[in-house]
Amino acid sequence: MSRPRRPILFVSSPDRGLINPLLVLAKELSRRGVPDLYFATSDNRRAEVEAIGADGTGTRVGFRSLGAPIPELSSGSWDDETYRAVTQESRWKAHKALLRHTFDTRFRDGTYRALATVTDEVEPALMVVDSLLHAGFELAVTRGIPHVVSAPFPPSNAMTKLPKGFPVPHSGLPLEMTAKQRRANTLFGVKRKAFYVTDALMRKRIVEYSQSNKELGVSKLASKYSSRIDEAAAVFVYSLAELDYPVDIPEHFRLLGAILPPLPEVPAEQEVRGWLDRHESVVYLGFGTVARLDEEEVGNVVEVARRLEGKHAVLWRLPAESWHLLPPADTLPANLRTEKWLPSQLDVLAHPHVRAHFTHGGGNGFIESLYFGKPLLLRPLFVDCYDQAVRGRDTGVGLVVERAHGIDVDDVTAKLTEVLENPSFTARAREMARLQREPGRGREGAADLLLSLAEVEPASTAR
């Protein structure tokens, strides 16, 4: 007697920070021989999905198209005006700019229709949806399909109810606030709640959403923003309670730490690994694929490396489009290595000679650094980066630069030196590494939970 089909459908935006953990989980289930795996995302990720299991090491994952990627929703393809608005120093204005830019039925409706067609075909027993793809939650709740939320943020950022006085998500404020900060926190929360009523553009889009929901058949429960969390079978949070402020975390939240593939990712790579082998203390500098530095900022990073020369080396992943901003090659300090791309950031972070990570504070890079016990210097870029940065500082795993924009050479050099040479930062980061390696966490713990939720028995459970 054949067992009933229990398909698992992964649903994700194409952005690296959102799709990468889900690709890792799909590969893990494939490796275990789990049948009926599907992955719905934008067309530009087709090859990555179709490669899973193609070499015979696991079951194949069926790619299902959600259409071409939407440039407005991908931070790496924002125009300069949008980038400046979303990364401006006022955290409320930046938050408002992001909402105005992304809350639009034009970006939701096509995805919803495409996903409805996919679910008609696949009939999933469980959907695993990235936390920003609202069409996925709306469809799952409307159709009564159990869903799991994939959230690369602090647990409190995913919660729908927070205690009075708790830092409002995206405010970047600490738990222990001054009187001025408490007023700012209250005002941030009030503005956020009132925004959809007081802003003329958002009022117009609310009306458009209501009309579109009727046309698409989105249920009233599904149209509530809080339903994506409150109605979820589980919320997979790629962080730890110890990296957030004390708060009662809902029972269906699963704090998993970093979701990483088996390492090394690129075992044959020798050039960067050889350079790391030759330098006993290295700062890895990676601001993600979103940050856009100007010529002065690039020059100031070079000057920071120069000031560290003799004690520490710097490996800098600087996107190709910014290389023309570098000073002449013969003027660069000998301890600085720049790369346009790295075969694996994880392999770099795992190297024992990498002592710290200077980063923009994105969710995955933040938790991955700590998985390898590497303390952080954080230069938050926008929205959730500020929340991670202040929690990183307050939990003792790193420091935060004073300026949100620009590179202050004195400040960055002093704080990098402190992070590198004060053993308390490394000790605390290593404690976060230990916690992430506890049973039930990481890639294998998350995969076990998915199989349990979908009531699937894998063909092979070989580890």
287-335 residue pLDDT tens = 987 889 999 999 999 999 999 999 999 999 999 999 999 999 999 999 9
> Degrees (nearest 5) of the Cα angle 23, 26, 27?
85
Mean pLDDT of 55-71: 94
Residue 244, classed as helix, strand or coil, is coil
In the CATH hierarchy, which fold is given to the domain comprising 8-80+103-166+218-256+440-454? Rossmann fold (3.40.50)
pLDDT in tens, 411-443: 999 999 999 999 999 999 999 999 999 999 999
pLDDT at residue 221 greater than cutoff 60: yes
Whether CATH 3.40.50.1000 fits 271-436? no
Task: Write down the pLDDT at residue 463.
Answer: 39
Task: Write down the pLDDT at residue 255.
Answer: 98
Residue 443's nearest CA partner among 367, 357, 349 is 367
d(CA 360, CA 374): 15
pLDDT in tens, 245-290: 999 999 999 999 999 999 999 999 999 999 999 999 999 999 987 8
> Degrees (nearest 5) of the Cα angle 92, 321, 287?
45
Asked whether the beta carbons of 429 and 375 are under 8 A apart, the reply is yes
The CA-atom distances, in angstroms, between 372 and each of 165, 361, 365, 376 are 33, 16, 11, 11
Tell me, yes or no, if the two domains 8-80+103-166+218-256+440-454 and 271-436 fold the same way: yes
Q: Which residue has the tokens 């120069």?
A: 306
Quick one: tokens of 291? 């940050």
In 248-272, which positions are buried (b, 16+ CB within 10 angstroms) versus exposed (e)? ebbeebbbbbbbbeeeeeeeeeeeb
Mean pLDDT of 16-42: 97
Task: Write down the pLDDT at residue 461.
Answer: 45
Q: Can you give the residue ranges of every domain in the chain?
A: 8-80+103-166+218-256+440-454, 271-436
36 torsion bin: left (phi>0), alpha (psi -120 to 50), beta (else) = left
Task: Write down the pLDDT at residue 460.
Answer: 56
pTM (predicted TM-score) = 0.95
Task: Write down the pLDDT at residue 405.
Answer: 74
